[in-house]
Chain A
Amino acid sequence: MIKKVVASVQEAVQDIFDGSTIMVGGFGGSGLPEALICALRDHGARNLTIVANNVGGVQYGVGILIANRQVRKVICSFPIGRRQAKLQDTFWEQYRAGALEVELVPQGTLAERIRAGGAGIAAFYTPTGAGTGAAQAREVRSFGGRECLLELALKADFALVKAHKADRMGNLVYRKAMRNFNIMMATAANVTIAEVYEVVEAGTLGAELITTPGIYVDRVVEVKVERRWQG
């Protein structure tokens, strides 16, 4: 019998290796796999390349891993905001020392590069960034008189995603705006690990409502947390 549910977040991340490329879902705290990130901090894998929309702070998000000096490179659209005061010092110290590399990607291009990675599309042309500094490092080609940039697909060794509910087959449903990057990231990694609020019986999610089919998901871990706004 297929059973993708694992007992703990520690077990879920135990085979993440040094030098892995890891996609981390979420937009701010919405749809962020917080428990998996903390488990990865405790696990201690280093030299990681992280693909995530934003870095977050020292209390949540990828910032936890940066503060713990586990990250070599971040591929993101929004590296560090003014609100992340506590992360600033260590972020800039590592960045200036060359220990932390940042690849800045427009958010829509980031989403599409991940989608392409999961869908077996090697690269695509997009108008985003044409006529800006971003065009200098990329192949430029015109379609119908409009300049476009060639962007390459992104794939990862692991994806850490968050969903509302899962079943033992790995099917996922989301709540409100949690879908964000989770849907594409689940498709673009060798091993996709889903943190969910609740695991339910197979057959009860509602087949028409399943948003991430279980084919994309390797492990599911239930983390019961109180959903409370933390300002």
Chain B
Amino acid sequence: MQATESVADSRLTERQIAWKVARVLEEGWYVNLGIGIPLHIVNYIPDDREVILHSENGILGMGTRPPVGEEDPDLVNAGKEPVTLRPGGCFFSQADSFAMVRGGHIDVAVMGALQVSERGDLANWMIPGHELGNIGGAMDLAAGARQVWVAMEHCTKDGKPKILKHCTYPLTAPDCVKMIFTDIAVIQITDAAPLLLETAPGWNPQDVQKLTEPKLLFTKPVKVMDLTGAPANK
């Protein structure tokens, strides 16, 4: 990232956020990917690392989208898009799938979010004023996964913070989010306050604080994200 580039240009793209999350998923973990930014994560898990992806509709070992012409309507992900099955993968019912979720067998669920509170409350299924939301599997995953991570844009489309002191939208689950990956920062939810671990290149901790409602704790020094090997900007 060049020093001359403006701050507005140095936000991570959705795919770069997904890439960033994919780098820290560990060998042997069972990980659920929610719709939106998290579904891109499947494309960026390093080849030499076995992370087993869980899809709510009854898949363990979910792989990438197949080439055009090889899509199978019987094999889709949570977003109903075609995927593949990796060697050693398997299929099961939605009841078994959510038994894995509620039973604490999923190491990490990565979800999108509309709002996250400083204590880790998650709101990601309904915008007030809309007549109906779409819950999908979000409430079960937020309540049941061993860790909930959020991958999202740091701000709303009109520039308002999405990390708040208190969520104002209907909750998906209280007190569940542990990590937040955004286009400008990586933040860990701690008992004391949200802890700023990393900023995007071109951003300093004060810039991130301005776009975050609760007071952030800063590690010293806050790391600047290393985007070597990340997908291109466009």
* Interface residue from B82, B93, B137 paired with A183 (Cβ < 8 Å): B93
Distance of A129 from chain B, by nearest CB (Å): 5
Q: A27-B76, A104-B135, A133-B171 are in contact. Are A179 and B144 (CB under 8 A)?
A: no
Let me know if B58 and A128 touch, CB within 8 A.
no
The total number of A-B Cβ pairs within 8 Å is 148
Distance of A137 from chain B, by nearest CB (Å): 13
Q: What is the 8 Å Cβ interface bit string for chain A, positions 82-111, against chain B (1 contact, 0 not)?
A: 000000000010011000001011111101
Cα–Cα distance between A140 and B70 once the two chains are bound (Å): 47
* Interface residue from B57, B132, B138 paired with A102 (Cβ < 8 Å): B132
Let me know if B73 and A229 touch, CB within 8 A.
yes
Chain B: interface residue total (CB-CB under 8 A): 43
Let me know if B76 and A112 touch, CB within 8 A.
no
Residue B91, interface by CB 8 Å: yes
Cα–Cα distance between A180 and B57 once the two chains are bound (Å): 5
Residue B136, interface by CB 8 Å: yes
- Most-contacted residue by chain B among A78, A127, A184 (CB, 10 A): A78
Task: List the A side residues contacting B71 at CB < 8 Å.
Answer: 229
Cα–Cα distance between A130 and B76 once the two chains are bound (Å): 30
Task: List the A side residues contacting B47 at CB < 8 Å.
Answer: none
* Interface residue from B56, B58, B136, B173 paired with A132 (Cβ < 8 Å): B173
Residue B172, interface by CB 8 Å: yes
Cα–Cα distance between A181 and B73 once the two chains are bound (Å): 16
Residue B94, interface by CB 8 Å: yes
Let me know if A31 and B93 touch, CB within 8 A.
no
Let me know if A127 and B143 touch, CB within 8 A.
yes
- Most-contacted residue by chain A among B91, B95, B98 (CB, 10 A): B95
Cα–Cα distance between A134 and B76 once the two chains are bound (Å): 29
Let me know if A109 and B73 touch, CB within 8 A.
no
Task: List the A side residues contacting B75 at CB < 8 Å.
Answer: 30, 176-177
Q: What is the 8 Å Cβ interface bit string for chain A, positions 111-150, against chain B (1 contact, 0 not)?
A: 1101100000000001111111110000000000000000
Cα–Cα distance between A55 and B36 once the two chains are bound (Å): 19
Task: List the A side residues contacting B139 at CB < 8 Å.
Answer: 106, 108-109, 128-129, 132, 134
Let me know if B135 and A78 touch, CB within 8 A.
yes
Q: What is the 8 Å Cβ interface bit string for chain B, positions 66-77, against chain A (1 contact, 0 not)?
A: 000001111110
Q: A128-B144, A178-B74, A227-B73 are in contact. Are A104 and B94 (CB under 8 A)?
A: no
Task: List the A side residues contacting B46 at CB < 8 Å.
Answer: none
Let me know if A128 and B74 touch, CB within 8 A.
no
* Interface residue from B76, B132, B138, B140 paired with A28 (Cβ < 8 Å): B76
29 contacts between A and B (CB under 8 A): A27-B57, A78-B136, A79-B132, A92-B131, A95-B131, A102-B132, A106-B135, A108-B101, A108-B137, A108-B140, A108-B141, A111-B95, A114-B95, A127-B143, A128-B102, A130-B173, A131-B171, A132-B172, A174-B91, A175-B74, A177-B55, A177-B58, A177-B75, A179-B92, A179-B94, A181-B94, A184-B94, A228-B73, A229-B71
